[in-house]
Structure formats: C-alpha cells, structure tokens
C-alpha cells in the first residue's frame, strides 16, 4: 500500500475515528471481532449509520492487514487540523504499539 493509498483509506475511516476506535479495529483485524460486531459498535455509539460503519470497518482492516497502522498513527500525530486530545492519543498509541 502506498502512502497515498493509506491516506485515502485513513480519510475513509476518519482520522479521529481511527484513533478513538483503534483497539476495536485492531481486534477486528486480528479476528477477535467480526465485521458485524465492529459495525454494530460504531452504529450503537452513533459514529456512523450502517453503510458508513461498513465503509469504516472495511478500510480500517485494510490498513491493519497491510501492516500500515503505525504509519497511519504517525500521519495522525503530525496533523495540525485535529483536536489536541486526538494527536496526544495517537502519540500514546505509537509508544504502545509501534517500535
């Protein structure tokens, strides 16, 4: 996956949602959660409607399957358009998951 493809997928998920639901998307990518459960969580949390949740989950798993989640976190951490709490959380996730 190129950096441009990663950015497109990350934008489809939503940078803030990618950070807030990183663990959920990771569980889905690691097959600890079904796509239906991933979608249901996003819908029940009023993050997306069903079709939006399907798009978010599908693009998020592609980022994880391509082993690009750390690069995605770095992209988010360098953003100057996101709330500071999201950038801080991205940096914490980098420390925890990326080497």
pLDDT, tens only, 35-55: 999 999 999 999 999 999 999
pLDDT at 26: 98
CA 11 to chain CA centroid, nearest Å: 9
Q: How far apart are CA 91 and CA 19, in angstroms?
A: 10
Whole-number pLDDT of residue 99: 80
The predicted-structure confidence for 8-29, as pLDDT tens digits, reads as follows 999 999 999 999 999 999 999 9
Q: What is the pLDDT of residue 39?
A: 98
CA angle (92, 98, 99) in 5-degree steps:
120
- Helix, strand or coil for residue 18? helix
| DSSP 8-state class, residue 81 | S
């Amino acid at each position: 996956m190129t950096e441009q493809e990663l950015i497109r997928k990350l934008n489809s998920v939503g940078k803030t949602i990618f950070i807030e639901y990183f663990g959920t998307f990771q569980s889905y990518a690691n097959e600890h959660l079904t796509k239906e459960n991933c979608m249901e969580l996003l819908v029940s949390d009023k993050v997306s409607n069903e079709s939006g949740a399907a798009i978010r989950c599908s693009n998020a798993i592609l980022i994880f399957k391509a082993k690009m989640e750390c690069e995605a976190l770095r992209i988010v951490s360098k953003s100057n358009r996101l709330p500071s709490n999201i950038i801080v959380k991205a940096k914490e996730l980098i420390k925890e998951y990326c080497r």
